Structure 1
Amino acid sequence: MWALRRVSIPIKNRGFSIGSSRICGGKTEIARCYMDNHKAECIEPQEIPADGLQSFRRFYDKSSNFRKLSVEVRGYSSQADSKSGEEDDDLEDGFSELEGPTASGAVSEDNAGDENDDELISGPELSEEESSGDEMQGTQNELEVLDNETDVAEKVSLRRMGTSALARAILAAPASSLGKFLEKWVAEGNEVNRLEVVLAMLALRKRRLYGKALQLSEWLESKKLIDFGERDYASRLDLIAKVRGIYKAESYIQHIPESFRSEIIYRTLLANCVSVSNVKKSEEVFNKMKDLELPVTCFACNQLLLLYKRVDKKKIADVLLLMEKENIKPSLFTYQVLIDAKGHSNDIAGMEQIVKTLKAEGMEPNIQIQSILARHYVAGGLKDKAEAVLKEMEGDNIERNRWACRPLLLLYASLGKAGEVERLWKVCESNPRLEECTAAIEAWGKLKKIEEAEAVFDKLVKKVRSPSAKHYSVLLKVYAQHKMMAKGKDLVKQMAESGCAIGPLTWDALVKLYIDAGEVEKADSILHKAAEQKRGKPMFSSYMAVMDQYAKRGDIHNAEKMFHRMRQVGYVSRFRQYESLVQAYINAKAPAYGFSERMKADNIFPNKALVAQLAQINAFKKTALSDLLD
């Protein structure tokens, strides 16, 4: 920890009250990591809870200019901080559908926290099993549930066993009457035991069928077919949070026998609060864990790091201070979050220093960390460094390191290396996995090679037989990027004919397709209709894409309308929305009354750039003439 803190910044003796005591920041190395030469984009602070925080109160200082950034998180179990790419090869059908974040459950009115800008999905049983997102989210995939469903030692053997008879039956059953179906299934002489249940839960979670998984859990408990333990309750809690929202999940804890209300229960709730970026509730849960004297684990701290990576990057140093005080050793995933945060701040030197610290602690960067490094090198124009990392990822034998093909395809495409993309695709082409197909389609799209992307999609359709809307959406986004309206419409028709259930991913692609074609009103109409359906709310990025277009036009009325509609569907007001709204007023050359007060009411405070923009639309701003008149 001391070595890690060497690449941090001093927190300038900023103390955080804990009852009558204080922890003074001093100049700990871990804090310097996120304050020294801080280049992060600074956005608004999060609200300070009205109720008194105990040990967690150290993370607040009203005098600090705390600001928001971005977070990615999914998963809930005990080890959400590390992943092995090789593990995915053991999945039954050779298709690793678990890269990327999990979809959230249907977000109820009481669970209207922020969502990740990069498209977290809501909806109980989406056919679009996963949403798009960066490599950081890939580490938080649904394989984490294994730690709560069964013992860690059983993971690989369970994956190799394939889908159970119970799982196959549930997958084929209608969701509306799953309980009756299961009763009939058992009456026919089929056995329900612990192993069958574990395999069924894994199969349902893999496909993001959280609604069915929750019904199965409730049915099992009502029929008393298995003895529930703490991991079963944690699994139920996670499913409730995904399907019904975090407040329903919190209420469920009172129904769990007190002897089973362990750390794993509360960290499951914590991870789900973080997954929807509900800062206040995340901090309340963390403090509750402290109140109950539950152990402070690396997992819980990593959840806070993920949260503050979005909402307030400066607070990362405070979490690291807490880890040091509690003698919590950083995991590989801890370093991964820190590296990604530095990269997003365009602090390449700081990012590289953390990698050195990681290696000094006896660890080696995994595929996720290497992907993050390469991505930030590409973004920073450091192509030579990016290529060096890609060569390390590939190793001496790409066929043996097949699991690296997916990120390599995308990263080489970002570098414009069509030859490398073609070489890697040839490795996969004879027997491609699902994630390799989708990555290849996206890669060819980035390289403007539409025919190649279409050829990969054709192969994917033949391989999967019944592709979901998620698979179609990848190609649809390629068409949108290149303003290929006719092909996009034809693909949507093909989706409808194949019986695909269209959800947030497809809506997002359609919105961007129409925006790129200049039909903003049509994109707006799609969002309006999508919001009225019950297959999850449209993505945050979908709304922002339309809102930004109205802002460019100086269309204040429609920009304000989008702002209001986002609140209606459950997106809490965020800096990004205000930023776009201010731009609408600027482009319209119209004054805005009470804008600062609106932001303050939402606990959002402007950075320097936004302050300058607000000055342009201040209805009472001083001018040379007004000074003379005064």
Structure 2
Amino acid sequence: MNTKLISKTLNQNQNAIISRSYYTNKTNKATLYSKLSPLGSTPSLEPELDSWIQNGKKVKVAELQRIIHDFRMRKRFTHALQVSEWMNKKGICIFSPSQHAVQLDLIGRVHGFVSAENYFNNLRDQDKNEKTYGALLNCYVQKRETDKSISHLQKMKEMGFAKSSLSYNDIMCLYTNVGQHEKVPQVLNEMKENNVSPDNFSYRLCMNSYGARGDLEGMEKMLNEMEHQPDIVVDWNSYAVAASSYIKGGLTDKAIDSLKKSETRLDKKDGTGYNHLISLYATLGEKTEVLRLWDLEKSTCERPINKDYINIMASLVKLDEFEEVEKVLKEWEASGNFYDVRVPNTLIIGYSGKGLYEKAKALLENLTEKGKATLPNIWGKVAAGFFDKNEVAKAFSCMKAALCLYEENKEWKPNQKVITGILSWLGDEGSAEDAEAFVSSLKNVIPMNREMYHAVLKAHIRAGKEVHGLLDGMKTCKIKEDEETKKILSMMQK
């Protein structure tokens, strides 16, 4: 059970504490929701919400709650918080403890646990119940604040707010995520001593803790105990956790047996479950099972979404089955799903990992020709691959494409070794025009430096072009002539 899966289940676990109102009326979904949902990059939704009211349109509490719920599920926590805060500020309704718990959770995610603490401390006493206490505990756990989490749980126990498995599961998640796996079974034992019944997730966390420590006997005992609990139905996820532990322990036959059991308990429309089993079979090198489950997923689920395509492609890449990956990519292109750069990137990264840089470059160029978005870091990765193979001209071509995309992805920084190598190559072999254009793009990403000026100087001198402007530019940038500069300038006298 990996950390991402634990975090995802932790979020679902916490959602059980808070309000789950989910407004599904399609008519209303096409109004305010359809107005707000596409505004993914908008800094604030408040103007849109205010405009909606000013235009005389009604807002319903249920719809606002559904919007908040949807944004949270899509990890648009800032926008979810804005809607919740606007709802509270405008007095759309008096917040219940459940709604305060939602806002507390969002504040913790967006602004940190200190802001969540302040919000909690300012609540009325009647709003401080197991839901809001639980939401604050979840904030501490999300931020891995071990001492605060344990202290807060103790307070919840004293107030009688720790009567369900939810809070104990939070602490087990905390210990899992900070690598203190040996403490997880202790929490399970404490639950039992306090007459709190463990649920599926409690047992899964405990099984995972034994597996992480390589204690397969302990993991099996925990699974056996779970199987004999009258109030618990062992789900697909629990057997998948067992399979993952067996894989790590090198027990292939037991892993496959657990995967078969997991599949029998899988909801036939659960794409997440299929994806997880596909990934585990790929780790085992079982191509036939990977493709069988993929076909089953396509036939039983409504239709594969982008994350399903990403998962199957990543699994096939792991198996070095690139022809199969290419087939899946074509399926995705014909699926009608919205364009998601992560889907083709899965294949491009796979190609790069195997040194197939020509194929990676060709796919990137094909996407560009079709007007599809690509990312500078992927172009940069392919450029680095060509550079390491001493194919500098191709590295230059890819890095040019990466630099052109910088304005839309300013977090990306180019590989300095590759940049230095390309600049040296441009100075020695490139045209003056190519050197100028490359440096012009590069200076938008990093400040002008000596290497950049030297590359253009050398290219200009080889082309017989004047260099006074470049030397003036160096002075303006306070870059003094060094021995290398003098050596380059001496080329004019030959």
- TM-score category of the 2 structures, normalised to the smaller one: 0.5 to 0.7
Name the CA distance, whole Å, in 2 between partners of 1:442 and 1:422: 13
Q: Which runs of 5+ in 1 are unaligned?
A: 1-69, 73-132, 539-630
Deviations 1:402-433 (A, max 9, x none): 66422222122222121222222223446323
Deviations 1:258-316 (A, max 9, x none): 32122211221222322232223322332443465533532111111122223423322
Report the alpha carbon displacement of residue 487 of structure 1 after superposing the two structures with TM: 4.6
Name the CA distance, whole Å, in 2 between partners of 1:439 and 1:407: 8
Name 1:384's counterpart in structure 2.
253
Q: 1:515 to 1:237 in 2, by over 3 A?
A: farther
Name 1:140's counterpart in structure 2.
10
Matched, 1:356 2:224: yes
Name the CA distance, whole Å, in 2 between partners of 1:424 and 1:288: 47
Q: 1:170 to 1:179 in 2, by over 3 A?
A: same
Contact 1:230 1:260 in 2 (8 A): yes
Name the CA distance, whole Å, in 2 between partners of 1:462 and 1:296: 51
Alignment of 1:415-430 (within 5 A): 415-429=284-298
Report the alpha carbon displacement of residue 248 of structure 1 after superposing the two structures with TM: 1.6
Contact 1:473 1:509 in 2 (8 A): no
Name 1:286's counterpart in structure 2.
153
Alignment of 1:436-455 (within 5 A): 436-455=308-327
From 142, 154, 167, the equivalent of 1:275 is 142
Contact 1:410 1:439 in 2 (8 A): yes
Partner SS state of residue 330, structure 1: coil
Contact 1:148 1:231 in 2 (8 A): yes
Report the alpha carbon displacement of residue 232 of structure 1 after superposing the two structures with TM: 1.1
| Matched residue type, 1:149 | S
Between structures 1 and 2, the one with greater helix share:
2
Contact 2:309 2:343 in 1 (8 A): no
Name the CA distance, whole Å, in 1 between partners of 2:355 and 2:25: 41
Q: 1:286 to 1:143 in 2, by over 3 A?
A: closer
Q: 1:312 to 1:423 in 2, by over 3 A?
A: closer
Contact 1:338 1:354 in 2 (8 A): yes
Moved more, 302-311 or 207-216: 302-311
Report the alpha carbon displacement of residue 357 of structure 1 after superposing the two structures with TM: 0.5
Name 2:125's counterpart in structure 1.
258
Partner SS state of residue 172, structure 1: coil
Q: 1:399 to 1:243 in 2, by over 3 A?
A: closer
Name 2:212's counterpart in structure 1.
344
Name the CA distance, whole Å, in 2 between partners of 1:510 and 1:375: 34
Partner SS state of residue 328, structure 1: coil
Q: CA RMSD in A?
A: 4.0
| Matched residue type, 1:410 | S
Q: So what's the TM-score if we normalise by structure 2?
A: 0.68
Name 1:83's counterpart in structure 2.
none
Count of residue correspondences: 391
Name the CA distance, whole Å, in 2 between partners of 1:161 and 1:389: 44
Matched, 1:223 2:223: no
Matched, 1:150 2:17: no
Partner SS state of residue 304, structure 2: coil
Deviations 1:196-218 (A, max 9, x none): 11221122122211111111111
Name the CA distance, whole Å, in 1 between partners of 2:380 and 2:200: 38
Name the CA distance, whole Å, in 2 between partners of 1:414 and 1:442: 11
Q: So what's the TM-score if we normalise by structure 1?
A: 0.54
Q: 1:490 to 1:161 in 2, by over 3 A?
A: farther
Report the alpha carbon displacement of residue 356 of structure 1 after superposing the two structures with TM: 0.7
Name the CA distance, whole Å, in 1 between partners of 2:359 and 2:241: 33
Name 1:368's counterpart in structure 2.
237
Q: Which runs of 5+ in 2 are unaligned?
A: 390-394, 413-494
Partner SS state of residue 228, structure 1: coil
Greater radius of gyration (CA): 2
Matched, 1:479 2:351: yes
Contact 1:481 1:516 in 2 (8 A): no
Contact 1:485 1:514 in 2 (8 A): no
Deviations 1:387-407 (A, max 9, x none): 222222333999677664222
Deviations 1:556-603 (A, max 9, x none): xxxxxxxxxxxxxxxxxxxxxxxxxxxxxxxxxxxxxxxxxxxxxxxx
Name 1:187's counterpart in structure 2.
54
Name 2:486's counterpart in structure 1.
none
Name 2:77's counterpart in structure 1.
210
Deviations 1:466-486 (A, max 9, x none): 334444554454334334445
Identity of matched residues, %: 23
Q: 1:278 to 1:459 in 2, by over 3 A?
A: farther
